[in-house]
């Protein structure tokens, strides 16, 4: 049983889609990263806001470079 509770932080890059080339740090190698972009709304009641959601999925390891997350155009 693995009792090591340390988290591992790694560098990652997003490939394709609206956030292409964005570099970030991820913890514990998540399989999916969500990126949101605010949308302009007209006369939003009660502070309602809208955001566009984009999904990036972990690809194959890139060797010594950063993790690569590819844009999933079919999500959500």
pLDDT band at 75 (very low <50, low <70, confident <90, very high): confident
Cis? peptide before 76, omega within 30° of 0:
yes
User: Tens digit of pLDDT for each residue in 22-74?
Assistant: 999 999 999 999 999 999 988 888 888 999 999 999 997 667 889 999 999 99
15 CB contacts (<8 Å, ≥6 apart)? Answer: 21, 56, 59, 68, 69, 70, 71
Output the pTM of the full model. Answer: 0.79
Decide: 30 and 10 in contact? Cβ < 8 Å: no
């Amino acid at each position: 049983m693995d009792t090591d509770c340390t988290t591992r932080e790694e560098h990652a890059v997003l490939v394709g889609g609206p956030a292409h080339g964005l570099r970030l740090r991820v913890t514990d190698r998540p399989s999916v990263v969500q990126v949101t972009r605010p949308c302009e709304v007209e006369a939003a009641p009660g502070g309602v806001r809208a955001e566009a959601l984009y999904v990036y999925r972990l690809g194959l390891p890139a060797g010594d470079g950063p993790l690569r997350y590819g844009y999933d155009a079919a999500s959500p």
